[in-house]
C-alpha cells in the first residue's frame, strides 16, 4: 500500500512538472518530502525548482541524490545542466568523475543517460559530439515526451551556441535553433525556458515580424515565471531595439502582446 502511494506521489509531481505548474509542484514537493525524504525522484524536481530561488541549495540537493544513486540519470541530467549553466568552474572535477562512471557503463540505459553524456561534452566544449549523440538517439524515445523535450531543448541550445560563436550569424543556423525549440514547445506548451530561448532566436533575426514574435515569447514566458532574470534581461534588450523602428511598429508590437501581459 505504501509503495503504491509513493508511486502516486512521484507521478503527481512529475505531471505537475511536465505541465509547468511550477508553484504547485514546488509546494507539493515540500509537503511530500516532509513525510517521505527518501523519495529521491521528488527531491530531483525540488532541486530543479530551487534553481530559481537558491542556486547553491539546488546544487546541494542534486548532489545528494547523485551520491545516493549515481545512476539515476534523470537527476544527473538536472545536476549537469545546473553545472553547465551556473557552476562550470567549480564543477569540472565532478563532471570528470561522472564521465568516467558513465562512459563505459554497461548497465541499463535510458534517454536521460544520453542526455547526461551530451551535457558532459557540452561542458567540455564538445558541441559537435554532443549534437551527434542527441541526433543519433532522438527517434529512439519518441514515446517518452519528457526525454524528447530534453533532446530538443539541448539541440536548440547547441545550435544557438554554434551561432553565438560565429562572427557572421547565418540565418539557417538560427532557423535550426527555432525548429528545435518549437518542437520542444509542441510537447510542453508552458516550457518557460524553451519559450524564452525561442524569443532570443527571433530577436537575432531582427525583422519587424520576428521582433514582434520575440516580445510575444518573452511576455508569455513571464506569465509562467514572472521574475525570471534571463527572460527579463532579454525582454529589456529587445524593447531597447524597438526604439529603432517607427511609432506605428511600436504600437502594433504592444497591441499584439496584450494577450501575454504580465500578471
| pLDDT tens, residue by residue, 212-236 | 999 999 999 999 888 888 899 999 9
Structure confidence at residue 262 (pLDDT): 37
The stretches in the chain having pLDDT less than 70 are 163-169, 244-263
Q: What is the pLDDT of residue 240?
A: 85
> Cell digits for 154?
539541448
pLDDT of residue 94: 93
Crossing angle (nearest 10°) for helices 145-164 and 171-187 = 160
pTM reported for the whole predicted model: 0.87
pLDDT, tens only, 134-176? 999 999 998 999 999 999 999 999 988 876 666 666 777 899 9
Apex CA 95: angle with CA 92 and CA 100, to 5°?
Answer: 130
| Residue partners of 211: CB distance under 8 A and separation at least 6 | 202, 203, 238, 241, 242, 245, 253
pLDDT in the model for residue 216:
94
Q: Longest Cα pair distance anywhere in the chain, in angstroms? A: 66
**What nine digits make up the cell of 138?**
532522438
How far apart, in whole angstroms, are the C-alpha atoms of residue 125 and residue 27? Answer: 36
Nearest to 183 by CA among 219, 139, 213, 117: 139
Rounded CA-CA distance 61/45 in Å is 10
Phi-psi group of 225: left, alpha or beta (phi > 0 → left; psi -120 to 50 → alpha; rest → beta): beta
Q: How far is CA 148 from CA 110, 141, 172, 227, 244, in A?
A: 12, 7, 22, 27, 38
The dihedral of CA 245, 251, 252, 258: what is its sign?
positive
What is the dihedral sign for C-alpha 127, 130, 136, 142? negative
Grid cell, residue 75, equals: 537527476
Do 242 and 214 contact (CB within 8 A), yes or no? no
- The Cα 243–Cα 245 span in angstroms is 5
Amino acid at each position: 500500500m505504501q509503495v503504491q502511494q509513493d508511486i502516486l506521489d512521484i507521478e503527481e509531481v512529475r505531471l505537475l512538472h511536465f505541465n509547468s505548474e511550477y508553484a504547485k509542484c514546488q509546494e507539493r514537493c515540500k509537503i511530500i518530502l516532509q513525510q517521505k525524504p527518501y523519495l529521491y525522484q521528488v527531491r530531483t524536481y525540488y532541486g530543479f525548482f530551487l534553481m530559481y530561488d537558491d542556486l547553491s541549495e539546488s546544487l546541494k540537493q542534486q548532489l545528494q541524490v547523485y551520491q545516493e544513486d549515481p545512476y539515476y540519470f534523470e537527476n544527473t541530467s538536472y545536476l549537469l545542466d545546473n553545472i553547465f549553466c551556473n557552476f562550470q568552474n567549480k564543477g569540472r572535477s565532478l563532471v570528470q568523475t561522472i564521465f568516467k562512471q558513465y562512459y563505459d557503463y554497461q548497465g541499463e540505459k535510458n534517454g536521460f543517460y544520453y542526455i547526461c553524456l551530451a551535457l558532459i561534452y557540452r561542458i567540455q566544449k564538445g558541441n559537435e559530439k554532443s549534437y551527434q549523440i542527441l541526433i543519433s538517439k532522438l527517434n529512439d524515445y519518441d514515446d517518452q515526451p519528457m526525454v524528447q523535450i530534453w533532446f530538443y531543448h539541448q539541440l536548440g541550445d547547441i545550435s544557438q551556441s554554434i551561432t553565438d560563436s560565429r562572427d557572421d550569424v547565418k540565418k539557417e543556423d538560427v532557423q535550426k535553433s527555432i525548429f528545435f525549440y518549437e518542437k520542444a514547445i509542441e510537447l510542453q506548451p508552458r516550457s518557460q525556458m524553451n519559450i524564452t530561448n525561442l524569443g532570443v532566436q527571433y530577436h537575432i533575426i531582427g525583422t519587424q515580424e520576428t521582433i514582434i514574435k520575440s516580445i510575444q515569447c518573452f511576455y508569455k514566458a513571464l506569465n509562467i515565471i514572472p521574475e525570471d532574470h534571463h527572460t527579463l534581461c532579454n525582454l529589456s534588450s529587445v524593447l531597447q531595439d524597438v526604439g529603432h523602428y517607427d511609432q506605428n511598429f511600436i504600437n502594433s508590437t504592444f497591441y499584439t502582446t496584450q494577450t501575454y501581459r504580465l500578471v
